[in-house]
Structures are given as C-alpha cells and as structure tokens.
Structure 1
Amino acid sequence: MVRIIGFFVGLGFCLVLAIAFFTGAYNQITNPPAETAEKEFHLHPKPLALESNGPFGKFDRAQLQRGFQVYKEVCSACHSLKFVAFRDLKDLGYSDAEVKAIADQWVIQQPSINPDTGEPATRKSVPADHFPAPFANEIAARAANNNALPPDLSLMTKAREGGAAYVHSLITGYRDQPAELLKKFPTAKTPKGLHYNPYFANLNIAMPPPLVSDGQVQYTDGTKPTVDQMGTDVAAFLTWTAEPKLERRHGIGVAAFIFLLVFSVLTYMSYQNIWASKKRELAHS
C-alpha cells in the first residue's frame, strides 16, 4: 500500500514539473521578453593577455609595480584595498625600506579624539597596517561620489565575471552613447551624473572615467603610459591583490599532476608485473 501511494505521489510531482516546463516554454515562445537597451548594447569584456593567465602563469613584477602606481595615483582616491597590507607589497619586489616609505604616505584615522584639538586622532601607516579607506565612513563616501558607494578593489577580479579582462574593459571602455541606442530606446538616455559604459551591467555607471589621457601616470621604468597600458597594468595588479598566492597554487598544481602521472605509470607497471604470471598460468590451463 505504501509503495502504491509513493508511486502516485512521485507521478504527481512529475506531472506538476512537466506542466510547469511546458507552460514556461509556451509563455517564452508566445510572449518573449521585451528587448532592452542593456540586453542589446551591453558588451562582454575584451580578452586580456596577462603573464599570470593559464595553468603555468606567473606574475610580471614590473607590471605589478606599474599597476600599483596606477592604483596609488588614480584609484586610491575613491577605492580601498582593505584586504591588502603594506608589507604584502614585498611580493611585488619592493624592499623593506621602500615598503616603509610607501606606508608612510598613507594616514590612518584612530578611533579616538585628539585631546588638544578635539579632532579625530591620526597617525602615519606602518608596513603592518592594511591600506586605509579613502573615506571615514559610507556616508562620506556616498556624499563624495554622487550617492554611489565605491567598492573595495581587493577581490574585484574574483567578484566580477571576466576578472581582469572586465576591469580593463570597464576602465578603458567609456564612450558617448551610440546614436542607434538613443534612436531605438529614447528613454535610455544616460541620466545626469552618470557615464555611459557598455561594459557595465546597466550601461550607466556613477564612476567618471578614471583614465582620461595618455601620460596620466608617469611610469618610473620608462614604459609608455597609454590608457590601454595603464588599464592593463592596474588589472594585473588587482589580479595579484585578489590571489597573491597564484604562483604557489600553480606550482602545487603542476607538482600534483606530475606526481599523479608518475604514480599512475608505476601502478600500471606493478599491475602488469604482479598479474603477468597469473595470466600465463590461466592461458596454459
């Protein structure tokens, strides 16, 4: 009796799923979703070739230092790196003295009040500190950015589909709205205070173009600072902030693959050696 009831219950579930599937398919065919500006004009990130790409990828230290320079001179005015400590910059090739000098350029707000002035107490950063936020709190950040909250960039290449390619395409992809878009979707005009960017999900982003011209950052290693080069370098740097142990992970992966390959060969040879005599006995029996 229980089996019969269970059978009919399962049959009912299958029937409900079938009805839901065919109803959804019918509605999709008869009433397809309306075309939107976002769906038609949104672009996927352009491929970005970095030294860290692929299973054997390694970071280009010179590029990471250039990317950090772009972050420091352009991005840090609005965006934080709360999961990165100054001492982590040693992985980019900076010496202890250089890391200390870099940290000294940032000011940390203390959770206390200066008894002499009544103002919030501050101090210079040290290598053990994490990069401080550019704003005291979310209210201050929104007030300075047209009510938009600049996201932290520490894990940005992991948080966005496309990773480093998305970052590069976004910060170098600002342009005027296409006439075709305004003709087809007259109500999709970019609102005041926003900026058209086809690589952003809804095409309009509050962040102004961060890289506006070649030479905006003067590289210390002599590399020509074009907008595309600066965008590539900061994307590489943010790849490192999101996964600083990438090279170690790749190395462990290669070692594990070699171990498993050798182990498989030895296992097969052992199998052949152990069972060879048994096979001959079976063949002659």
Structure 2
Amino acid sequence: MRVTNKTVYDSVRYNLGKISEEMSKANQIASSGKLISDLSDDPVGLTQSLKIKSVISGLDQLGRNVSLGKSWLSASESALTGVQDLISDTKALCVQMASSTTGASQRASAAATVQNTLDEILSLANTEVSGRYIFSGTKTDSAAFDQDGNYLGNDEPFAIKIGINTTASVGSNGQGVFGTIFTTLNDLKNNLTGNNIDGIQASLDSLTRHFNDITNKISDIGSKMNRMEIKEQIFQDSKLVNTDRVSAIEDADIADAIINVKEKELAYQAALNSSSKVMQLSLVDYLK
C-alpha cells in the first residue's frame, strides 16, 4: 500500500504533538506538585477530593466552635473563682463581725466593705467574652444583672454546635448560677449597719451555702472543659486523616514526577530525531 507524504507528515506531527502534550503535563505536575489541576485530569479523584475537603471545612468550623466554647468556659471558671474568693473573704468578715468583742461602729464600717464586695461580684456576674455576656443565657448581647442584682437574661444557656446533631452549653443562666447571693450580701450589709448579730450569723450560714454552690458550678465547668478538649483532639485527628486522604489523591511524588519529566523529555528528543529523518525523505525514497 502506498503511503503519501501527507500521511507520513500528519503522523509525525500527531506523534510529536502527543509527546509534547505529555511532556507539558509532566512538567506541570513536577512544578505544581499536584496530580489534579482540572476536572479532566481525574474526574473521579477530583470528586472524592471535593467531598473530603467539605468534611475538612466542617471540622474546621466545629474546631472554631470548640475554641469559642473553651474561651467561654475559661472566662466562667475565672469569674466564679473570683466570686468564690470574695465569698470566702466575706465569710471571714462575718465571723469577725459576729464576735461579741466587735462594736457597732466597726460593724457599720464593715458594711462599706460588703458593698464593695457586692459591686465586685456584680461586675464578675456581667463578665463578657468578645462583647457577649456569658451569664445572660442566650441573651448574650445584654448584661446579665443590673446594679440592683436583678437578673436580665433568660434561663436558656448559650450553647455551641460540637457535632452534626450535638450541642454543648458553654454559657449559663445567671440566675441559676448566682441565685440569691446579691440578696444575702444586701441583707448582710443591712445587718451590719443595724448592728444585728443574729442577722450577721444567718448571713454567714447563707454565704457557706453560696460558697458550696459555686464550688459545684466550677466543678461542672471543669467537666465541660474536659469534654471540649477531647472534642478538639478528635477534630484535629480527623482533620489530619482527611488531609492525608486529599494529599494521596491530589499530591504528586516529586521524585517520581521529576523522573517522569526526564523520561518525557528523552521520548520527545527521540521523536524529534526520528521525525527529522522522516522529513528528509524524498518521493524517490518511497518509490524504492
């Protein structure tokens, strides 16, 4: 069968183009370190990669939620520890003021100390994290208590999403946390001003109950913090596994990629040499 010059030339051009395209793709993989640059490279692999990246994005969001939750719990623990310290100091003051050796003027002076303690606990009860009040329930945009100790929030604790169908409370219903602390302190202040020793002793008993309640609240926060840390580690581990899965699909082995480039370059050079000889053939060569 006779082979025309055009057929030979077209075949040479096609082969050179094909090898050139392969060499270009090999160079792209080696330079980018990626096996997949567009959909045509690996449709199935790209689809899998996108699904895994969606999972990673969800894990990142849950991780941010947990980080927010930890900051709220840490602020809550710090605030309640401060309240506990203030209650402890006030209990010591009560013991002193309930003593028969203490005079009315001293008790009246101690009332000012209790007022300062009341103001400090109110300030702690209105603790904020990034402009959001942590003891206001879900009404995080408004203070938990007014200056008279009246609760302004609601009874639904602020919660974060830590799983597909799982939430965790990291805020608090301030009324449930602080209870009647402000009433107790106001009563103590009045009993000190009125030189009422029995009333001071009753306030001491109430402060002991408040101290124990706050201790339990701090313990509960500690348990929640442990849960957040476990969740955080789970999310980090899961993200690492999924990131490795994406890498296995998308990332090239650089050493193999460089070897592949060299192979394509050699193949291209060999094709060029062969083509140059074919292109030099005349019509007479085909008639022999």
Where on the TM-score scale, by shorter chain, does this alignment land: which range?
A: under 0.3
- By percentage of residues, which structure has more helix? 2
Q: TM-score, normalised by structure 1?
A: 0.25
Pair member with larger Rg: 2
Higher RCO by CA contacts (8 Å cutoff, separation 6 or greater): 2
Q: TM-score, normalised by structure 2?
A: 0.25
